[in-house]
Structure 1
Amino acid sequence: MFGVEPICRVLTEHGTKIAPSTYYAVKSRPASARAVRDERLKTEITRIFVDNYQVYGARKILGWRTPAEVLEEQLRSSQQASVAATG
């Protein structure tokens, strides 16, 4: 119903100049490392949520690990990735 070009035209009329090519450039970029990691975490959290009979809450979902342990694991994996990337 609404395309990119008409929306960009209206934004330009109101003082915010955005070219349609800017939109398409952003949409064609690959996902960032953070977005990929967040998607992986969402999958894992959903699995834990289902395994725990869909009892919602951070204490139930992360009950088998403390938030500090989760953060430590994330930091360790990101450090390993950066070391591997540098060779």
Structure 2
Amino acid sequence: MKITDIEPCIKVTKEDENQEIGIYIEFGDQIRITDNDGVKTEGRFFLFESGFEVEDDDMIYIVLEDENQFSIGVSFIGDIDKIEKQA
């Protein structure tokens, strides 16, 4: 067997008292991030940066519709969803 593709992505696990689900977000996917204060930001997943030390926050970077860049530490994310393309 030969490798035909390798897709870098992040896995987001969500859980409540009844279930656990995992979603995979690939670079370039449209996502909606809701921060811990309820503010929603939408854009294209651009970069994931791991913290260098244990106490450092991992960072998610997205490109907004106006092409500006937005970043947020994962500890400040209340929810994250992949936005499916409309047919």
TM-score exceeds 0.5: no
Q: Which has the larger radius of gyration?
A: 1
Shorter chain as denominator, the TM-score bin is under 0.3
Give the number of the structure with larger relative contact order, counting CA–CA contacts within 8 Å between residues 6 or more apart: 2
TM-score, structure 1 as length reference: 0.20
* Higher helix residue share: 1
* Higher strand residue share: 2
